[in-house]
Amino acid sequence: MSGREFSVALVGCGRISANHFEAVSRIEGLRLAAVCDVVEERARAAGEKWGVPWYTSYEQLLERAECDVVTIATPSGLHPAHGVLAARAGKHVVSEKPMAISLSAADELVKACDDAGVQLFVVKQNRLNATIQLLRNAIDKGRFGRIFSANATVRWARPQEYYDQAKWRGTWEFDGGAFMNQASHYVDLIQWLVGPVESVMAKTATQARRIEAEDSGAAILKFRNGAIGVLEVTMLTFPRNLEGSITILGEKGSVKIGGTAVNKIETWQFAEYDDDDRLVESANTSPPSVYGFGHEPYYRNVLKVLRGEAAPDTDGRGGRKSLELILGIYESAKTGREVPLPLRPRI
């Protein structure tokens, strides 16, 4: 399949869709084929801007649009159902984070894609930041020695107007709170970088926003390798986004990647030199938003996978791991207990 072009249809023309449109437009071998949104004004605007057919009915898009891939950028709680429909229509699926807001729904999506023989990709674009790739290389090379501590901090601002823009935001049925939505990439990063989590203790609160789910929280993680981790999340930072960072401390190294979206290496110290150390300054970026620049390399991986040239950066099973950790955080906050992972299936 080398050299073949693949066409992409996108459903959900909201806040994140522009990153997908821009990424697809920059990649030779991918082509936007159609767009869909239940809000006619948004669907029409996207279709006219990118010169493709637009739909307000997802079923009609699947029936009429000629496409190989469907990107799901709808409210989080709808990702599994929309992905299952695409898989049954024989389309490969790209799901925005989170892939689902329950493990059972995530498993249904994975099974549907397996049964249909199509690929399932879960967007975790921050893994592809140049800064994070350098950090991952350092871990893989054993430069830290034993890792003692890992911390991910998300201090962002989401005013009440943000939640009021769409009724699904901040609801348990369609969205979840700060951990499930805004901080999900950071939950993913800390478990992807440091390894499987053995147990979690957490507190969450809805302190200032009129929503069902949490606007703030903190979690203590115990990793199987003995490291201790902390996740600190709030959407109440005044007056704007302050920090999206990850820090890893080990016996032979200390690294903090900060900025508003893990885009700037603030500390990079190791006992021994490596040629990667020369790349620290060039890895720093200044993205226009907290979404960063990762969607384009993510889609480049999608294209390589579909052409049979690579393995997926994050497939359905990879996306499920961070979802399970988020659900463990919620269970601990609800019960006041330490929650072991993996979660026990509910009977």
* pLDDT by residue, tens only, the chain of 347 residues: 568 999 999 999 998 999 999 999 999 999 999 999 999 999 999 999 999 999 999 999 999 999 999 999 999 999 999 999 999 999 999 999 999 999 999 999 999 999 999 999 999 989 999 999 999 999 999 999 999 999 999 999 999 999 999 999 999 999 999 999 999 999 999 999 999 999 999 999 999 999 999 999 999 999 999 999 999 999 999 999 999 999 999 999 999 999 989 999 999 999 999 999 999 999 998 766 665 667 999 999 999 999 999 999 999 999 999 999 999 999 999 999 999 999 986 64
Tokens matching residue 85: 């429909």
Please name each of the domains of the chain with its CATH number: 6-125+295-314 (3.40.50.720), 127-270+323-340 (3.30.360.10)
Residue by residue, DSSP assigns 150-209 as EEEEEE-B--HHHHHTSTTTT-TTTT--TTTTTTHHHHHHHHHHH--EEEEEEEEE--SS
What are the start-end ranges of the E strands in the chain? 6-11, 30-36, 54-55, 69-72, 92-95, 120-122, 147-155, 197-205, 216-223, 228-234, 243-250, 253-258, 264-270, 339-340
What Cα–Cα distance (Å) separates residue 245 from each residue in 23, 194, 230, 231?
A: 24, 15, 12, 10
Q: What is the identity of the amino acid at 68?
A: D
Tokens 């399949």 belong to: 1
CB 176 within 8 A of CB 236: no
Q: Compute the distance between CA of residue 329 and CA of residue 325 in angstroms, rounded to an integer.
A: 6
Q: What is the pTM of this model?
A: 0.94
Q: What is the pLDDT of residue 152?
A: 98
Q: Shortest CA distance to 152 belongs to which of 243, 283, 253, 235? A: 243
Q: Which two tokens stand for residue 144?
A: 């830290």
| Rounded Cα gap, residues 68 and 5, in angstroms | 9
Residue entry with tokens 């920059």: 26
The helix/strand/coil state of 102 is coil
Distance CA 193, CA 195 (A): 6
Give the DSSP letter of residue 263: -
What is the per-residue pLDDT for 347?
43
Q: Are 95 and 10 in contact (CB under 8 A)?
A: no
**In whole angstroms, what is the distance from residue 106 CA to residue 327 CA?**
12
User: Buried (b) or exposed (e) across 165-193, using 16+ Cβ within 10 A?
Assistant: eeeebbbeebbbbbbbbbbbbbbbbbbbb
- Alpha carbon of 186 to those of 142, 158, 232, 247, 317: distances in Å? 22, 17, 10, 11, 17
Number of neighbouring beta carbons within 10 Å of residue 112? 21
Return d(Cα 13, Cα 15) in angstroms, integer.
Answer: 7
| Coil, helix or strand at residue 35 | strand
Start-to-end CA distance of the chain, whole Å, equals 43
> pLDDT value at position 346?
60
E strands in 206-286 = 216-223, 228-234, 243-250, 253-258, 264-270
Structure tokens, 12: 């959900």
Alpha-carbon distance 104 to 286, whole Å?
A: 38
Assess contact for 76 and 102: CB atoms under 8 A.
no
